Amino acid sequence: MDLIIQSGDSQQASLDGATTGEVRKILQPNSENDAKLQELKTFLIDWINNELQKEHIVVKSLEEDLFDGLILHHLLQKVSDLKIEVEEITLTAINQKRKLGVILKTVSSCLQLEESQPWDVNSIHNKDLLATLHLLVALAQHFRPRLPLPQNVSVEVIVVEPTKTGMKTGKAIEFITRSRADDDACHKDGFDHLFELTPDKVDDVKQAMLNFVNKQLFNLSLTVTDLDSQVHNVSLALDFLLDEGILQNPVDPTEIVNGDIKPTLRVLYSLFLRHKKASKPS
């Protein structure tokens, strides 16, 4: 049975221009009053305002204040330390969408996103709350992984798919954030998989990282012979690497101090990648 959709202007706008076979999702009107959703919205607003405090930018509404790209521009530059060349103020819809296109392309590059995402230029510009939340959560999880985002936030959505004979609709539950354990399972990296292989594969990587470290320390007349134990000033170093965007995910300093080789290799590999990138001719 088809559903009767009663949506606000922003939700209706997200359906405009939808082509046959293109699935769109809009919030059920009652979902916007969900306590956990309101908690997430408040948390994200506070986060943005804290990040942009020195720029005297104040966000009061995620839908109304982020659609034109101005605040997203400032936020992305702040958390990524990138300079994004776009117009500061855009008054027309065409220029606003052009600016959003550049911003979202930068987001995809920073987050290394290849598949389609639950946001795009039109949904953000149309003040689609669901798309805006997904975008902000993705930015927070990537650039500020230590942020205690509210967990297990889900909402009921109406799934809409235009067909040749009309509008096909249904209901679904959309997860915006998940539990910490689910996030950890979804974000296993190459080193998690490496340690599932044979010990000799791990030893090969350890030796490669050891060679890299000693090459960098040669001019200081320092030599590291054991990655498991010869690491100092760990907390200070890890905080610096996170702040500089060199280390993408937080590492518990006690794991390194206690000789856990996996996080040690993860940190050294992040340094290796940054060194390799910096060594490339411009």
Q: What is the DSSP string of 19-43?
A: PTT--EEEE-GGGGG-HHHHHHHHH
116 shares its domain with 169? yes
User: Does residue 16 sit within a domain?
Assistant: yes
Q: Please count the structural domains in the chain.
A: 2
CA–CA gap between residue 137 and residue 140 (Å, rounded): 5
Looking at 134, 161, 186, which one is the last position of a domain? 186
Looking at 186, 221, 250, which one is the last position of a domain? 186
81 shares its domain with 137? yes
What is the CATH number for 55?
1.10.418.10
106 shares its domain with 232? no
CB 133 within 8 A of CB 41: yes
Q: Which of 49, 25, 31, 238 is nearest to 134 (CA)?
A: 25
| Average pLDDT of the residues in 55-77 | 92
User: Does residue 117 sit within a domain?
Assistant: yes
194 CB contacts (<8 Å, ≥6 apart)? 201, 202, 205, 262, 265
**What residues make up the domain containing 212?**
190-276
Residue 219 confidence (pLDDT)? 60
User: Does residue 70 sit within a domain?
Assistant: yes
CA–CA gap between residue 159 and residue 34 (Å, rounded): 19
Looking at 164, 186, 208, which one is the last position of a domain? 186
Residue 85 confidence (pLDDT)? 86
Q: Which of 118-122, 162-166, 180-184, 272-276 has the lowest mean pLDDT?
A: 180-184
CA–CA gap between residue 98 and residue 80 (Å, rounded): 20
241 shares its domain with 269? yes
CB 205 within 8 A of CB 213: no
173 shares its domain with 219? no
165 shares its domain with 209? no
**Residue 230 scores a pLDDT above 50:** no
- Identity of residue 99: K
Residue 126 confidence (pLDDT)? 94
180 shares its domain with 71? yes
Between 152 and 180, the higher pLDDT residue: 152
Token pair of 225 as six digits: 């012979």
User: Does residue 3 sit within a domain?
Assistant: no
258 shares its domain with 136? no
Reported confidence tier of residue 2, pLDDT bands at 50, 70, 90: very low
152 shares its domain with 49? yes
Between 34 and 204, the higher pLDDT residue: 34
